[in-house]
Amino acid sequence: MKKVLIILISLLGFSSSQIAQTCHCNHIITAAQLSIDGTSLNILPGDTICLEASTKSYLRLVNFHGDSNNYIVFINCGGPVIVQNASQGYVIKLGNCSYFRFTGTGTDGVQYGIKAFGSTGNGLSLDDKSTNYEIDHIEVANTGFAGIMAKTDPSCDLSTNRGHFTQYQTILHDNYVHNTAGEGFYVGHSYYSGYPTTCSSLPDTLFPHELKGVRIYNNLVDSSHWDGIQVGCATEDCEIFGNRVTNYGVDAIDGQNSGIQIGGGTTGKCYNNYIADGMGTGIIIFGLGTNSFYNNVIVHAGLNYFPSDISKRVHGIFCDDRATIAGRSFNFYNNTIIQPKTDGIRFYSTLSANNKFYNNLIVEPGSLGSYSQSSSQNSFINFGSGVSALLSNNYYDSVMSKMFFVDTLGNNYRLLSTSPAIDYGMNLTTYGIAFDFDSIPRPSGNGFDVGAFEYHLPSSIKETNFIANTISVFPNPNTGAFTISSDDSFSFGNYTLSVFDMLGKNIYVESSYATHKISIDIRSKVAKGIYYLQINTHDNLINKKIIIL
Residues 365 and 283: their CA atoms lie apart, in Å, by 15
Assigned domain for 288 exists: yes
Which is nearest to 304 in space by CA: 278, 323, 329, 327?
278
Helix, coil or strand: residue 456 = coil
State how beta strands 210-217 and 395-397 pair. Answer: unpaired
Which residues neighbour 508 within 8 Å (Cβ) at sequence distance 6 or greater?
Answer: 497, 498, 499, 520, 522, 525, 526
Domain boundary among 301, 332, 363: 332
The answer to whether the CB of 147 falls within 8 A of the CB of 180 is: yes
Ramachandran assignment for 265, one of left (phi > 0), alpha (psi -120 to 50 degrees), beta (any other): left
Assigned domain for 339 exists: no
Which is nearest to 91 in space by CA: 99, 100, 81?
81
Cα 287 to Cα 79, 184, 190, 301, distances in angstroms:
41, 19, 11, 20
Beta bridge partners of 244: 220, 274
State how beta strands 98-103 and 72-85 pair. Answer: parallel
Prediction pTM value: 0.83
Output the domain CATH number for residue 202: 2.160.20
pLDDT tens track, the chain, 549 positions: 333 333 333 344 445 555 655 678 999 999 999 999 999 999 999 999 999 999 999 999 999 999 999 999 999 999 999 999 999 999 999 999 999 999 999 999 899 999 999 999 999 999 999 999 999 999 999 999 999 999 999 999 999 999 999 999 999 999 999 999 999 999 999 999 999 999 999 999 999 999 999 999 999 999 999 999 999 999 999 999 999 999 999 999 999 999 999 999 999 999 999 999 999 999 999 999 999 999 999 999 999 999 999 999 999 999 999 999 999 999 999 999 999 999 999 999 999 999 999 999 999 999 986 544 445 778 999 998 999 999 999 999 999 999 999 889 889 999 988 999 999 999 999 999 999 999 888 998 889 999 999 997 544 444 454 556 678 888 888 888 999 988 877 888 888 888 877 656 778 889 889 988 999 999 888 888 778 788 888 667 787 878 888
Q: Print the domain residue range for 302.
A: 2-332
**Which pLDDT does position 252 carry in this prediction?**
95
DSSP state of 70: B
Q: What is the DSSP string of 340-363?
A: -SS-SEEE--SS--SEEEES-EEE
Beta bridge partners of 60: 35, 93
Query: Domain count of the chain?
Result: 2
**Which pLDDT does position 347 carry in this prediction?**
97
**Which pLDDT does position 540 carry in this prediction?**
75
Assigned domain for 176 exists: yes
Output the domain CATH number for residue 504: 2.60.40.3080
Residue 356 CB: number of other CB atoms within 10 A? 17
Find the angle CA(73)-CA(78)-CA(82) to the nearest 5 degrees: 80
3-state secondary structure 124-181: EEEECCCEEEEEECEEEECCCCCCEEECCCCCCCCCCECCCCEEEEEEEECCEEECCC
Assigned domain for 187 exists: yes
The answer to whether the CB of 50 falls within 8 A of the CB of 103 is: no
Assigned domain for 75 exists: yes
Assigned domain for 50 exists: yes
Assigned domain for 266 exists: yes
Helix, coil or strand: residue 442 = coil
Residues 212 and 203: their CA atoms lie apart, in Å, by 29
The answer to whether the CB of 145 falls within 8 A of the CB of 112 is: no
Assigned domain for 392 exists: no
Residues 431 and 448: their CA atoms lie apart, in Å, by 13
- Cis bond leading into 443, ω under 30°? yes
Domain boundary among 332, 363, 385: 332
Domain boundary among 281, 314, 332: 332
| Cα atoms found within 13 Å of the Cα of residue 36, Cβ hemisphere only | 23
Residue 311 CB: number of other CB atoms within 10 A? 7
**Which pLDDT does position 374 carry in this prediction?**
43
Torsion of the alpha carbons at 383, 386, 390 and 393, rounded to the nearest 10: 20
